[in-house]
Amino acid sequence: MADPTVMDKITALCKRRGFIFQSSEIYGGLNGAWDYGPLGAQLKKNIKDHWWRAMTQLRDDIVGMDGAILMNRAVWRASGHEATFSDPLVDCKTCKARFRADQIPTSACPQKPSKCPGQGGACDLTEPRSFNLMFKTHAGAVESDENLVYLRPETAQAIFVQFKNVLDTSRQKLPFGIAQIGKAFRNEINPRNFTFRSREFEQMELEFFVKPGTGFEWTDHWLEQRLLWYESIGIPRAKIHILDVPESDRAFYSKKTYDLEYEFPFGVQELEGIAYRTDYDLTRHQEASGKPLEYFDEEAKEKYIPHVVEPSAGVDRTVLAVLCEAFCEEEVTDEKGNKETRTVLRFAPCVAPVKAGIFPLLKNKPELVAKAREVESLLRPHMATFYDESGAIGRRYRRQDEAGTPFGITIDFETLEGAKEGPLAGQKDTVTLRHRDSMKQERLPIGSLLGTLLPLLR
Ligand code: GAP
């Protein structure tokens, strides 16, 4: 069930803890643009690194590239974006608001009392018309039609137009893929649901080139691989709905598309599309550029245009899904027996922005502080840490719970004087390791911290 209050809480937490801020906030913001703060930028980077590693490091049949945002306008003519990358737009002549025609039932008229556009007495909606979503700018000093360039609305086209260069320089053979992560821009009519539909966002796209006749099998292969990947970053299969997109809703060049939809608090919505794009893109670019983009199959001794399977994921939507999945409020009892609500982000350790909080029990005991700094220097080269010596230890744990830090390490008097009980009784240089989700604590020698933590962070 969609729960809007959860989304309000997540949005507030993101601002309070420095995950995500409204762009240009001090000037009233800019609709559809967001800035990632310290924790958000690290979370986003960890997710992108995890994707990049899964694609280009753990497999030997995918190479990476990093294309420019600005491309020759001919690319967008050939791909069909200039003519057809548009949404149906409806204007209200009374209040001047604009709506996506297909989203009218879930949009709100800005006039009070707020209703659906068209339902208020004064509403005067136009017929839908096509609105191209590509942002335009000019390359060079002259603002003429010849200098017009677009901010790319997807990263994929750079891969298609560099297919031959990558093939020739990487010595790959079909089937193989080219992966890319980068910014994309769409002048969305109605940016909404926090970062879900933005005007500036990032994509993680793979174009996987295959032999004609094998596209359907590879589409199913990628469906499974992508579900496994989401599981590895903490989004369970059960929360992802697989939509086998019916032909009537697919792009005309796609023979099969799966949408992976996540149960966001505002409803089940698309996280990623996995599309079998046939040989459409390479054929179009070959025709329009006049440059051969065929592949010579040495085994079959024949030339053909490869077919493409494209898993295309949104970075920002993945960050949002990870935040929604991790967000949890639970009632706990503190050391004095008082009940309180604990807010915790249960991030998978591999994507958590900070891996370990380091806490000297008291900040006015120099020996505790020195030992805590020693532990910090031991861990810092291997993981993101956060040193915190201010406030009661319980409050410090809560702060890290809210930031999603999976481990807390406390340096206490037993560290200096020797453990009081348990298998390490009498041993100095031990610390407590607190686990965020269970809140369980165990005592460990400082010397085994790295060996214990590193395997848990992969
Ligand atoms: N190359 C194929 C392509 O771009 P798409 O379904 O239009 O396909 C792929 O976009 C993914 O990019 C989406 O599944 C979504 O995660 C992300 N995305 C698209 N538009 C977005 C927007 N306005 N804001 C945030 N993410 C967006």
Residues sharing a CB contact under 8 Å with residue 265, sequence separation 6 or more, in sequence order: 2, 3, 4, 6, 7, 10, 324
Closest ligand 1 atom to residue 155 Cα is 1
Q: What pLDDT score does 342 carry? A: 95
Q: Who lines ligand 1 at CB under 6 A?
A: 154, 156, 186, 188, 197-198, 201, 203, 205, 270-273, 310, 312-314, 316-317
Are the C-beta atoms of 357 and 396 separated by less than 8 Å? yes
Q: At how many degrees (to 10) do helices 315-326 and 4-16 cross?
A: 100
The reported pLDDT for the residue numbered 166 is 98
- Output the CA torsion sign for 5, 11, 12, 14: positive
Scanning the structure block, which residue is given the tokens 């949002």? 320
- One-letter amino acid at 286 equals Q
- d(CA 18, CA 22) in angstroms, rounded, equals 11
pLDDT of residue 112: 76
User: Whose CA is closest to atom 9 on ligand 1?
Assistant: 312
Hey, what are 273's tokens? 């599309």
**Candidate of 253, 257, 270 to mutate for ligand 1, largest count of ligand atoms within 8 Å of Cβ:** 270
pLDDT of residue 2: 67
Mutate to test the pocket of ligand 1, among 47, 178, 201, 257 (most ligand atoms within 8 A of CB): 201
Cβ count near 76 (within 10 Å): 21
CA–CA gap between residue 216 and residue 276 (Å, rounded): 7
Residue 335 has what pLDDT? 72
Taking the CA of residue 188 as reference, the ligand 1 atom at the shortest distance is 23
Q: How far apart are CA 85 and CA 134, in angstroms?
A: 7
**Residue 193 in contact with residue 266, Cβ under 8 Å?**
yes
pLDDT value at residue 1: 56
Instruction: Identify which of 317, 319, 320 to mutate to test ligand 1's pocket (most ligand atoms within 8 A of the CB).
Output: 317
DSSP category for residue 189: S
At residue 287, φ and ψ (nearest 5 deg) are -65, -45
Chain centre to alpha carbon of residue 273: 14
Instruction: Supply the pLDDT for residue 102.
Output: 87
The protein residue whose alpha carbon is closest to atom 20 in ligand 1 is: 197
Answer yes or no: are the C-beta atoms of 209 and 322 closer than 8 Å.
no
Average pLDDT per block of 10 residues along the chain, 458 residues long = 84 98 97 98 98 98 98 97 92 88 86 81 89 95 93 98 97 97 96 96 98 98 98 98 97 95 97 98 98 96 98 98 98 86 97 98 97 98 98 95 98 97 96 97 97 96
Q: What is the pLDDT of residue 240?
A: 98
